[in-house]
Amino acid sequence: MTTLSRMGNRQFFTPVSDSGKKLSRKRRTSNLQIRKWWHTARRGHKCVAYLRSVLFRSSNRSYPLHSHQFNFIISTHHSTTAMAQTTKHIVVLPGDHVGQEITEEAIKVLNAISSVRPNVNFDFQHHLIGGAAIDATGVPLPDEALEASKKADAVLLGAVGGPKWGTGSVRPEQGLLKIRKELQLYANLRPCNFASDSLLDLSPLKPEIVKGTDICIVRELVGGIYFGERKEDEGDGVAWDSEKYSVSEVQRITRMAGFLALQHNPPLPVWSLDKANVLASSRLWRKTVEETIKNEFPTLTVQHQLIDSAAMILVKNPTHLNGVVIANNMFGDIISDEASVIPGSLGLLPSASLASLPDTNTAFGLYEPCHGSAPDLPKGKVNPVATILSVAMMLKLSLNMTEEGIAVEKAVKQVLDSGVRTADLRGSNSTSEVGDAIAKAVKEILA
């Protein structure tokens, strides 16, 4: 293994082994190549995926490479590019009802970040989705909104739906399903935890039961029964839906869960939810999850749980499921909604829908709160925290701004602990007042 040496402000790989012996010509070539890649990263080379492929390919051939060397090269790239002037392109889809208010507060926080990070500029493009799009264009997701989203670094969504649009043939939710499918947002991440322990008393469960709950639900988002073949009731009194999953689809979502579990030290346990005692698709799911974890993530443990049993555990002893929970589209939808009640308000929980592993912190994703459009809520009453925490996830997973994402999370905790809260958290502050307080706290933390 070569040694990483430091001289002044310069860092380089010296051609000396751990034992102090001079390296062979082949190993010297390896280190020269490493330096070349490192200097490429310093110049702000944007093709991190290319660097990764070359480095991993080389590690098994003519250029032996250790993981700490690879991580150093990639971190050098990230720190170098972070110092340069960058523009982050974000498509904003406010959607319906409270969607406009909560996205405004999220943008307020991002603008607060750019005010203390002059090297970062956020470019916002607003487009229609959901019922608002139906009213204006007749479709729940206009082509221009979809095309803009494909070109963006990330998408911020408010909420879609409402009783106005009923359950007709053209519905707001179809826009959300379409954008997920078109952008291949196959993994939905929904954390279930407490932004602050001061919120424990708000949970419908006893504080001693929910304290320490820390679950990340990973839901497969573009397959299964929601996208399967179906038949509507055509007057014959019969309707049906079908669920189909392939091995590759299950492997893909399992890799996401495995990756997230390995980001912690020690690694988090993985829980896989299914209905393998009844459904053929669940039996394929269980088998594939088991094999993928065993073959690709040998240091992880995976435990299988029937979905109905998991639902009972979640309300009886939620900390038992701490870790990464993986589920198919429908089961993940149901269990994540159940989990969202634990912290005491739907206005607290964020979500991210990703198109790839966030292994370079630049995965494309769509970010939205877990709550709906709340059509009956008066103006100024909606809690913006879930949307603002979704922005924190965006910063960390898609925009390569981990420090800023952590700062947003700290700011949220500070504001909630100070008592600045909306009515759902037994507070008296308005939506904009909470947003203002969090934006101010972010500035102070990053200053």
| Segment 249-307, tens digit of pLDDT | 999 999 999 999 999 999 999 999 999 999 999 999 999 999 999 999 999 999 999 99
User: Residue 257's pLDDT is what?
Assistant: 98
Domain end position, chosen among 284, 318, 342: 342
Residues 212 and 330 in one domain: yes
- What is the pLDDT confidence band of residue 159, given thresholds at 50, 70 and 90? very high
- How confident is the model at residue 168, as a pLDDT? 80
Task: Give the range among 40-44, 264-268, 400-404 with minimum mean pLDDT.
Answer: 40-44
Question: Which string of DSSP letters, residue by residue, matches 216-271?
Answer: EEEEE-SSGGGGS-EE---SSS--EE-----HHHHHHHHHHHHHHHHTSSSPPPEE
Give the pLDDT of residue 8. Answer: 35
pLDDT of residue 15: 39
Within its chain, how far is the Cα of 126 from the centroid? 21
Q: Is residue 366 scored above 80 in pLDDT?
A: yes
Rounded Cα gap, residues 398 and 111, in angstroms: 17
Count of structural domains within the chain = 2
Tens-place pLDDT, residues 58-73: 444 444 445 555 555 5
Q: What percentage of the chain reaches a pLDDT higher than 90? A: 77
Domain ranges, residue 395 = 86-163+170-194+345-446
In the structure, what pLDDT confidence band is assigned to residue 76 with cuts at 50, 70 and 90?
Answer: low
Taking only the tens place, the pLDDT of each residue in 122-134 is 999 999 999 999 9
- Torsion, Cα 356 359 362 367, to 10 degrees, reads 60
What is the band of 3 on the pLDDT scale with cuts at 50, 70, 90?
A: very low
Report residue 122: phi and psi, to 5°.
-105, 125
Q: Which helix (H) or strand (E) holds 397?
A: helix 385-397
Same domain, 307 and 178: no
Residues 217 and 330 in one domain: yes
The first and second tokens of residue 175, run together, are 């826009």
Residues 302 and 320 in one domain: yes
Q: Please check whether residue 78 is in contact with residue 361, taking contact to mean a CB–CB distance below 8 angstroms.
A: yes
Domain ends where: 342, 377, 408?
A: 342
In a domain, 234, yes or no: no
Task: Say yes or no: 315 and 413 in one domain.
Answer: no
Residues 292 and 217 grouped into a single domain: yes
What residues are annotated to the active site? 226, 275, 308, 333, 337
pLDDT category at 329 given cuts 50, 70, 90 is very high
Co-location of 94 and 150 in the same domain: yes
Contacts of 78 (CB under 8 A, 6+ apart): 360, 361, 400
- Look at residues 295, 318, 342 and tell me which one is the last residue of a structural domain: 342
State the pLDDT confidence band at 19, using cuts at 50, 70 and 90. very low
Residue 52 has pLDDT above 70, yes or no: no
Q: Is the pLDDT of residue 205 over 90?
A: yes
Of residues 56 and 238, more confidently modeled: 238
Same domain, 355 and 435: yes
- Flag whether 24 is in a domain: no
Q: Taking a C-beta distance cutoff of 8 angstroms, is the pair 438, 388 a contact?
A: yes
Residue 41 lies in a domain: no
- pLDDT at position 360: 86
Mean pLDDT for the chain? 87
Other beta carbons less than 10 A from residue 239's beta carbon: 10
pLDDT at residue 26, as a whole number: 45
Buried b (16+ CB within 10 A) or exposed e, 48-77: beebeebbeebbeeebbbeeebbebbbebb
The per-residue pLDDT for range 211-263, each reduced to its tens digit, is 999 999 999 999 999 989 999 988 999 999 999 999 999 999 999 999 999 99
CATH of residue 178: 3.40.718.10
Q: Determine the pLDDT at residue 70.
A: 52
Is the Cβ–Cβ distance between 253 and 242 less than 8 Å? no
CB contact at 8 A, 133 and 175: yes
Q: How confident is the model at residue 167 (pLDDT cuts 50, 70, 90)?
A: confident
Asked if 245 and 328 count as a contact pair (C-beta separation under 8 A), the reply is: yes
Note whether 184 and 313 are same-domain residues: no
In DSSP notation, 293-337 reads HHHH-TT--EEEEEHHHHHHHHHH-GGGG-EEEEE-HHHHHHHHH
Say how far apart CA 102 and CA 84 lie, in whole Å.
Answer: 30
